[in-house]
Amino acid sequence: MKSYRKELWYHVKSRRRFINITPQVEECLKESGIKEGLLLCNTMHITSSVFINDDEDGLHQDFEKWLEGLAPEKPYSMYKHNSFEDNADAHLKRTIMGREVVVAVTNGRLDFGPWEQIFYGEFDGNRDKRVLVKIIGQ
C-alpha cells in the first residue's frame, strides 16, 4: 500500500470566500501515483471548511446568505466566544459546512458524481491556513 501526504496553503484576503481546490487536489493525486484507493481532504483549522458541491456562483451566494442567516457575523457581542475573539460565527459556519471530504480514487482519478467539486470554505480570513490531502491505496 502506498501513502501520500501534502499540505495546501491558503491566505484569503477577505473574511469569507469559497475556493474550488479540485485542480490542486487532482495534482496531488497525480503526484502520488496512486490509482486505486481513498483520498481524504480536510481543513486543519476550526474556522474553515472543506466540502463538495456545485461550482455555481448563484449557489455560492445562496450559501453565504443561508450561513449569515444561521450565524450572522455581527453584532460580535451576540456571541459568548467573542469575549476575546470576533470569530464565533466562523466556528459555527464551519461546523455546518463540514471539516473534510473523502473521495474514492478509481483508475487514477477522483471518482466524482456529476458536478461534484471540492471547495475550501474560508469563514475567518486574512491569515495563513492549511488543507491536508492524504491518499492511501496502490
The residues binding Zn ion (CB under 5 A) are 85, 87
Rounded Cα gap, residues 62 and 44, in angstroms: 25
Q: How near is the Cβ of 87 to Zn ion at its closest, in Å?
A: 4
Find, among 103, 111, 113, the residue nearest to 133 by Cα: 103
Nearest to Zn ion of 26, 86 (CB atom) = 86
Sign of CA dihedral 27, 30, 32, 34: positive
Q: How near is the Cβ of 82 to Zn ion at its closest, in Å?
A: 8
Backbone angles phi, psi at 70, to 5 degrees: -75, -45
Q: How near is the Cβ of 13 to Zn ion at its closest, in Å?
A: 20
Taking each helix axis as running N to C, give the angle between helix 57-70 and helix 88-97, from 0 to 180 degrees, rounded to the nearest 10: 130
Nearest to Zn ion of 49, 87 (CB atom) = 87
Nearest to Zn ion of 48, 87 (CB atom) = 87
Q: How near is the Cβ of 124 to Zn ion at its closest, in Å?
A: 8
Nearest to Zn ion of 22, 47 (CB atom) = 47
Q: How near is the Cβ of 21 to Zn ion at its closest, in Å?
A: 23
As to burial, measured by CB atoms within 10 angstroms (0-12 exposed, 13-18 middle, 19+ buried), residue 55 is: middle
As to burial, measured by CB atoms within 10 angstroms (0-12 exposed, 13-18 middle, 19+ buried), residue 58 is: exposed
Nearest to Zn ion of 5, 127 (CB atom) = 127
